[in-house]
Amino acid sequence: MKYFFRLFVSLCCTIFVFSAGAGAGDKEVLKPRVPANQIEEVRTWKNPFPSTPQNIEKGQKVFHSKGFCVTCHGQDGKGLGNIPGLRGKLPRNFTDTTWQAARTDGELFWILKNGSPGTDMASFIPLVLTEEEAWHVLLYVRSFGQSQN
Ligand code: HEC
């Protein structure tokens, strides 16, 4: 019974992924991931590192090496969307400027701490990344939104 339920859920997710996609301006993508009772505080968190070319480069290294973000979000930051075994939602497309504008740095940091529940976006702090590395990788994530569109 449990097995059939899982199958049903994953079928629904697959249908959802194909119908909703991760397109720019997609309403589902813009919905906050941080729970309502935390979001006010989380939005006050600021990146302590300035967005200098050197800091962005440090973030780029994390993205490609120990953070392995590139395996899901892609070289171009658009999210690959065809990863076998992905449960449900597609990796975020970081070049979506509407999505970039909808999130504060604090909300992105919260995601690196907690993951996005129910998706393949896992928690990275503290097991994989230090807080400092996480802030740097977020400078790199932000840079996708500036260089395109
Ligand atoms: C196993 C695949 C996978 C890996 C590896 C991965 N992500 Fe993700 N990521 C996802 C998925 C799937 C989502 C979409 C989750 C959602 O829609 O809630 C996502 C969403 C995000 C978001 C957007 C959350 C929001 O508020 O909309 C950020 C930021 C992010 N990832 C950053 C990273 C960073 C930085 C790394 C590397 C340290 C990374 N991801 C590694 C799969 C991955």
Query: Residue 25 above 60 pLDDT?
Result: no
Q: Whose CA is nearest to atom 36 of ligand 1?
A: 69
> What would the pLDDT profile of 46-60 be if each residue is shown by its tens digit?
999 999 999 999 999
Residue with the bigger pLDDT between 22 and 86: it is: 86
Query: Residue 4 above 80 pLDDT?
Result: no
What lies within 8 Å, CB to CB, of 56 at 6+ separation is 136, 139, 140, 143
Q: Whose CA is nearest to atom 41 of ligand 1?
A: 69
The CATH number of the domain holding residue 135 is: 1.10.760
Query: What is the distance in A from the centroid of ligand 1 to the CA of 1?
Result: 31
93: its two tokens:
């497309």
pTM: predicted TM-score of the whole model, two decimal places: 0.84
Task: Look up the domain containing 75 and give its range.
Answer: 2-147
Q: Is 18 exposed, middle or buried (0-12, 13-18, 19+ CB in 10 A)?
A: exposed
Domain count, the chain: 1
What lies within 8 Å, CB to CB, of 113 at 6+ separation is 123, 124, 125, 134
Residue with the bigger pLDDT between 75 and 15: it is: 75
Q: Whose CA is nearest to atom 34 of ligand 1?
A: 69
